[in-house]
């Protein structure tokens, strides 16, 4: 999945967004993210856009997955401590460390297991 990233420092220097592929394993507990170069950043501290339905969507919030979904709708792994859901202006993204997938839904839909049966 494609992400456009501009870190805090790059924002100050007015640099261009960098394109990067992202995978569930790049997302680390409690809203952190491991960049390709190994640096670990706080998702919310940076200017990030995630591709969804062919458009780039701005990341606006990170929420604890607990209370939003109890288990992964694909592999059934229970939400781990520190697991979280990323919200953009139009959708939500759940990086599952059980099946290593990025699960996406429109924000007006719930992430529920029934949707996948």
Between 5 and 26, CB nearer to Zn ion: 26
Could you say whether residue 93 binds Zn ion (CB under 5 A)? no
How many other CB atoms sit within 10 Å of the CB of residue 88? 21
Could you say whether residue 99 binds Zn ion (CB under 5 A)? yes
Q: Quote the DSSP letter at residue 1.
A: -
Could you say whether residue 48 binds Zn ion (CB under 5 A)? no
What is residue 10's three-state secondary structure? Answer: helix
Between 4 and 68, CB nearer to Zn ion: 68
Could you say whether residue 72 binds Zn ion (CB under 5 A)? yes
CA 117 to CA 112: how far, in whole Å?
A: 10
Between 18 and 112, CB nearer to Zn ion: 112
CA 87 to CA 91: how far, in whole Å?
A: 6
Chosen residue from 62, 85, 96, 111 binding Zn ion by CB under 5 A: 96
Nearest-5° angle of CA 67, CA 33, CA 24? Answer: 70
Between 1 and 74, CB nearer to Zn ion: 74
Work out how close the CB of 62 gets to Zn ion at its nearest, in angstroms, rounded to a whole number.
18
Number of residues that bind Zn ion (CB under 5 A): 7
The enclosing H or E element of 9 equals helix 8-12
Binding-site ranges for Zn ion (CB under 5 A): 72, 74-75, 77, 96, 98-99
């Amino acid at each position: 999945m494609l992400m456009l990233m501009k870190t805090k420092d790059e924002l100050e220097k007015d640099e261009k967004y960098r394109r990067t592929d992202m995978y569930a394993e790049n997302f680390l507990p409690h809203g952190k993210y491991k960049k390709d170069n190994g640096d670990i950043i706080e998702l919310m501290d940076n200017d990030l856009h995630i591709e969804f339905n062919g458009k780039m969507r701005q990341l606006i919030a990170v929420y604890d997955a607990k209370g939003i979904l109890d288990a992964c709708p694909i592999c059934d792994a229970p939400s781990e401590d520190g697991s979280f859901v990323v919200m953009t202006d139009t959708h939500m993204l759940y990086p599952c460390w059980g099946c290593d997938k990025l699960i996406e839904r429109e924000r007006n839909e719930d992430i529920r297991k029934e949707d996948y049966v």
